[in-house]
Chains A and B, each alone.
Chain A
């Protein structure tokens, strides 16, 4: 069921409790989900709308995750893909909290180091760790720099 809401946005079946990630850079919704570790094999009940019209952004993507409230650490990862995203926490159909996303200083366990010789690509019990710099993601273990499309390196 979809309908236009009065503000011109598109609401895909309202959710009772959960998280709405709004104002995602158009086309990045699926990568945002991968960044959050939400895949086809996890249990979340999801609605995804891509390339919907937005007054502010031209077009945007929206993701709604039912029965899961994302924490700050999770939402900040999103900033790398969708710096203008807005996180809305929904309780009993109402937006009870709204937050922007901030690029994190360190990104842990989200992307894989492209360096085959890096210790994080072995069976050691550590997550990858990258320092987020203007020029890219810098591996804190082997000093590799990911400059290109970050989404290609999501674990």
Chain B
């Protein structure tokens, strides 16, 4: 059975294959009824609009159906019940499970108790492989990923999308530039793992220093909760904000990505520059998730 749990489980070939498939779904090279009669359970124990809707959209576009449980309903279903039991039961109803859960490793556990494939749609501060695939897909639409310079900006300590993207990029000979506020730097264990995988990781004290070298700037959310008070949050947030001024003299082909939703990290004035690619990125969630759903249920 094919589960999609963590980007660490993927080799470069697997990623390329899935990205190629996503490209076919994107350009309409597929039969609309490919997942006719298939049913997926979207089990979301944590709120998410975008990820849940894009999985539902992807399933519908392939002719399949989804049943969906949101965070409020989910918490009442499982009053006192273990995730293991919930998964055992629900996997007997459907052909695949998409799971979002607040605990790290929840998707791995679910895959051990499920009789159908499990796709991880985010487990706490852990993994979110479909997001990483759509990030890669978006980059690959504009340029070959091999050997490019990618900047990761924002909360690199807790930001799971940044960790799994970095791990995936390490398979492509990418040079990684990290730019994070004090206290929100990439955990040493991840930086070590990236370097062991042969990746060059360069830490920068500020955006200005790094931005002109970059081919891709990946911005993540800096959350208010990470700071002791509003003043220190606003202070940090404003010094890491992407503005049109900052983009003076960058590479013409620079692409700015963001997993969305954004708070104040990117000035809306940046939206109308050619660098802003985050809405396109969000749209790519559908073909990428079509590829994943089809792959596990075909």
Contacts and interface: CB of A to CB of B under 8 A. Distances in A.
- Interface band, chain B: 20 to 34
A8 interface: no
- Judged by DSSP, the binding face of B is mixed
Interface string B69-87: 0000000000000111000
B109 interface: yes
A124 B192 CA distance: 31
Contacts of A123: 82
A21 interface: no
A117 B104 contact: yes
Interface size class of A (residues with CB under 8 A): 10 to 19
B103 A119 contact: yes
A142 B104 contact: yes
Given A118-B103, A125-B84, A140 B124 contact: no
A141 B124 contact: no
A73 interface: no
A142 B84 contact: no
Contact of A117 (B82, B112, B125): B125
A115 B104 contact: yes
B192 A119 contact: no
Interface string A112-155: 00010111101111100000000100011111010100000000
B104 A141 contact: yes
A115 B103 CA distance: 10
Contact of A141 (B82, B84, B108, B125): B108
Interface string B103-135: 111101100100000000001111100000000
B82 A119 contact: no
A130 B6 CA distance: 16
A128 to B, nearest CB: 10
A124 B82 contact: yes
A119 B105 contact: yes
Interface string B49-88: 0000000000000000000000000000000001110000
Given A118-B104, A126-B112, A143 B126 contact: yes
Nearest to B190: A143
B189 interface: yes
B29 interface: no
B105 A141 contact: yes
Given A124-B82, A124-B83, A125-B84, A141 B109 contact: yes
B8 interface: yes
Nearest to B85: A125
Contacts of B83: 119, 122, 124
B125 A119 contact: no
A120 B82 contact: no
Contacts of B127: 143
Contacts of B123: 119
A119 B104 contact: yes
Contacts of A139: 105
A143 B112 contact: no
B108 A124 contact: no
A117 B46 CA distance: 14
Contact of A125 (B6, B82, B106): B82
Contacts of A119: 83, 101, 103-106, 108-109, 123
A142 B126 CA distance: 6
A32 B109 CA distance: 29
A147 B188 CA distance: 12
Interface of B: 6, 8, 82-84, 101-106, 108-109, 112, 123-127, 189, 192
Given A117-B124, A122-B82, 10 more contacts: A117-B103, A117-B104, A117-B125, A119-B83, A119-B103, A119-B123, A124-B83, A126-B112, A139-B105, A141-B105
30 contacts: A115-B104, A117-B102, A117-B104, A117-B124, A117-B125, A118-B105, A119-B103, A119-B104, A119-B105, A119-B106, A119-B108, A119-B109, A122-B82, A122-B103, A124-B82, A124-B84, A125-B84, A126-B84, A126-B112, A139-B105, A140-B105, A140-B108, A141-B104, A141-B108, A141-B109, A143-B6, A143-B105, A143-B126, A143-B127, A147-B189
The 4 closest A-B pairs by CB, nearest first: A141-B105, A142-B104, A119-B105, A142-B105
